[in-house]
């Protein structure tokens, strides 16, 4: 699972500007961004890609644990969720 939250590094400490939901303990990766070179659009795209990769990984883990469901159920759920007629 991958969650992204913003924070500020100051005086040797990281201060989160928001708390991650549903996380009590976890390893983290810290990336320092150069404020003068941040492109907000590209940053959002990168975060979206990382979340997609994490979701794919989670899907493989569920598959390995046998947590699957019939494709018919999935199609039905997507049709209802997005208002797609059959």
The span from the first CA to the last CA of the chain, in angstroms, equals 33
Q: What is the rounded (10 degree) CA torsion for 37, 44, 52, 4?
A: 80
pTM of the predicted model, to two decimals?
A: 0.48
pLDDT tier at 1 (50, 70, 90 boundaries)?
Answer: low
pLDDT tens string 2-34: 788 888 899 999 999 888 888 888 888 888 888
Nearest to 54 by CA among 17, 19, 4: 4
Distances (CA, A) of 5 to 1, 2, 56, 57, 85: 13, 10, 20, 20, 37
List the Cα angle 41/45/50 in 5-degree steps: 150
């Amino acid at each position: 699972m991958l969650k992204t939250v913003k924070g500020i590094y100051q005086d040797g400490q990281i201060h989160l500007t928001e708390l991650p939901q549903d996380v009590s303990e976890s390893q983290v990766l810290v990336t320092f961004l150069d404020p003068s070179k941040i492109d907000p659009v590209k940053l959002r795209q990168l975060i979206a890609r990382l979340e997609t990769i994490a979701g794919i990984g989670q899907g493989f883990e569920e598959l390995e644990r046998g947590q699957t469901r019939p494709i018919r159920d999935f199609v039905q759920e997507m049709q209802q969720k997005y208002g797609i007629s059959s």
